[in-house]
A and B are shown apart, each in its own frame.
Chain A
Amino acid sequence: MTAVAEQPAELVRRKPPAAVRRKRFLIAVAEHSLLIAAALAFLAPVVFMALTALMTTDQALSPRLWPEPFQWSNFAEVFHKSPLLHWTLNTMIYAGLATLGVVVSSVPVAYALSRLRWKGRDAVFVVVLVALMLPPQVAVVPLYVMWAKLHLVGTLWPLIIPVWLGDAFAIFLLRQFFLTIPQEYLDAARVDGCGEFRILTTVVVRLAKPAIAAVSLFSVLYCFNDFFLPLLYVGENPDNWVVSVGLSQFRSLHQVQWNLVMAATLLVMLPVIILFFLAQRAFVEGVTLTGVKG
């Protein structure tokens, strides 16, 4: 037995026979070509959009694929021809206030759902899960009626106020993270005479910074990308259009100017991409927290 046990170490070091090595090499080549082909396919849409954004209007309507000449002024033209800056400002107000609300309201709820024991806790958590899975269309009619009666349809408030009462996704993600905080830290604070509120604001919030960053990031992204609710509440009031609603109308304002439409589209994609590279770690944290540990 001893002889056999020593053998594997030697086996690993010995090179496999040439035929096996060649087969492995060919498989690796095949896998990498597939990978590169897929990556090119994923990049192609953006490349073609960028090329079109640099064409003249006539060229964008022709089957030619390469811009000649490069018309960089298209990007400036977008700002002249549409209130993109105004839409961006509205989006920032919406995203800023909503994200603040999500964090302020969801942190305490998530804490209560993960680290405090109270009657009905599990039932409330089930409600969070249900809210998470509920299509927004299910609840939207009565809410619209409510906001209409409050004369707030046409403003950004119907988008902002609800998240100040908690957001199911944020509560879920934060709860998953809070569960990983060692109980000893909380107990130590309790022994030192902290109330629950101080434990939350000093100990938990500091430990949960990565999760709070992820939640804020997802909230900003959600506000920037969401279309259904903004269309519903501010769709008929162009003064309060956010970027997503404005962009959806852009094409009907500039019928055949695909070059301008693509330039606007890229300008709208740009902030998201910048945000991704600035906050890559928070993204990965958030995605794995909700997915793998869920």
Chain B
Amino acid sequence: MSPWIVGFLVFVAYPIAMSAFLSLHAYDLLSPRRWVGLANYRYLFRDDPQIWPAVRNTLWLIVIAVPCQVLFAFGIALLLTRARTGAGVFRTVFYLPALAPPVAATLGFVYLLNPATGPVNSLLQKVGVENTPLWFNSPEWSKPSLLLLGMWGIGNIMVIFLAAVLDVPRHLHESAELDGAGSFQRLRYVTLPLISPVILFAVVLGVIQALQYFTQAYVAAAVAAGQASQAGTVSNLEQGYPEGSTLFYPVLLYYHGFRFFNMGYASAMAMLLLAVSFLVTLVIVRNSRRWVHYQGAVR
């Protein structure tokens, strides 16, 4: 068994150490690498005009998209617990989109939300909405469009919430009811504390996924831009189309590392991403001790 453990450790440890090493070099894969000290980091923190937009976009995911998705998943799970008939069918309907391959789901949504010919805007016009949004083609609406796509795929978290809500012991609800608690108070003082570990899990998972958000943004930008996105023919238009509004940090890293082959600079970006992922998770977990309630033992 030990060869596997060693191999596994190597595949985790080697790339991180090597990233740190490469981040101090200029390297394009073809010519020999050249020591540049902290120049990559200086460019990263001071000069790169695309970094701040990319960081802001990723922050948008963490601050707005993740809470929306977690709340939405929780709401759907609560509704599901109230279903008297057909609970299994409903559960399947809400869960299945989570399995849709991200590329396929993204293509579908870019079509549905196509400003001119998509069914969503056709329907909106039929009910009399005049200024229909341009969705993936406008910088204001592109991120909300991605959020819609994300909310369609909340099935996994929803199932976990559902299991947790159903796990809340019945007698706690009953005794709260006898004490005169209405349904809202029972939700606030019985259900929420008992499922708080699951909420924490959902938030941490959401933030981790937000930090590596790539496929949907990349595909949506490429398809909405309507550009032939064959590797090698990078136009500035396609990068985070429209107007850099879908240029998330991992997308920018991809462009630097694997389209422009600035391997050293991409490594520096990777180190920052590593530090931030670590910090964010740490902050959430630390903070959580105040609001997460583990039943029974102190874990």
Q: Which residues of A contact B (CB under 8 A)?
A: 28, 31-32, 34-35, 38-39, 42-43, 45-46, 48-49, 51-52, 60-65, 105, 108-109, 111-112, 116, 124, 127-128, 130-131, 133-145, 148, 162, 165-166, 168, 171, 196, 221, 224-225, 227-228, 231-232, 235-236, 243-244, 247-252, 255, 258, 261-262, 265-266, 268-269, 272-273, 276, 284, 287-288, 291-292, 294
Contacts and interface: CB of A to CB of B under 8 A. Distances in A.
Contact of A144 (B211, B257, B271): B257
Nearest to A247: B103
B96 A276 contact: yes
A61 B83 CA distance: 39
Chain A contact residues: helix, strand, loop or mixed? helix
B222 interface: yes
Given A227-B103, A258-B117, A138 B273 contact: yes
Given A42-B93, A109-B4, A252-B228, A63 B117 contact: yes
Interface string B82-96: 111000001001101
Contacts of B12: 127, 130-131, 134, 139, 168
A235 B231 contact: yes
B240 to A, nearest CB: 16
A201 to B, nearest CB: 12
B212 A65 contact: no
A34 B263 contact: no
B198 A247 contact: no
A124 B5 contact: yes
Which of the four size classes fits the interface of chain B? 35 or more
B230 interface: yes
A272 B99 contact: yes
Contacts of A196: 1
B108 interface: yes
A39 B107 CA distance: 21
Interface string B143-160: 000000000100010011
A135 B209 CA distance: 8
B298 to A, nearest CB: 17
Given A32-B83, A45-B112, A292-B160, A137 B212 contact: yes
Interface in B24-40: 27, 29
A273 B99 contact: yes
B254 A137 contact: yes
A39 B92 CA distance: 10
Interface in B91-125: 93-94, 96-97, 99-105, 107-109, 111-112, 114, 117, 119, 122-123, 125
A141 B108 contact: no
Contacts of A231: 218
A51 B123 CA distance: 14
Contact of A112 (B5, B99, B103, B117): B5
B19 interface: yes
A228 B4 contact: no
Nearest to B119: A48
Given A141-B257, A141-B270, A49 B108 contact: yes
Contact of B82 (A31, A109, A251, A262): A31
Interface of B: 1-2, 4-5, 7-16, 18-19, 22, 27, 29, 76, 79-80, 82-84, 90, 93-94, 96-97, 99-105, 107-109, 111-112, 114, 117, 119, 122-123, 125, 152, 156, 159-160, 163-164, 167, 198, 201, 204, 208, 211-212, 214-215, 218-219, 222-223, 226-232, 250, 253-254, 257-258, 263, 266-267, 270-271, 273-274, 277, 281
B101 A141 contact: no
A231 B259 CA distance: 11
A33 B103 CA distance: 32
Nearest to B14: A142
A269 B198 CA distance: 29
B101 A268 contact: yes
A31 B257 CA distance: 50
22 contacts: A31-B83, A39-B94, A52-B111, A63-B125, A105-B8, A109-B5, A109-B8, A111-B1, A138-B16, A138-B270, A138-B271, A145-B27, A148-B29, A166-B4, A232-B258, A248-B222, A250-B107, A255-B226, A266-B104, A268-B101, A288-B163, A291-B160
A118 to B, nearest CB: 9
Contacts of A43: 93
A5 B15 CA distance: 68
A175 B67 CA distance: 30
B107 A252 contact: no
Contact of A141 (B4, B226, B267): B267
A268 B108 CA distance: 11
Nearest to A237: B231
B261 to A, nearest CB: 10
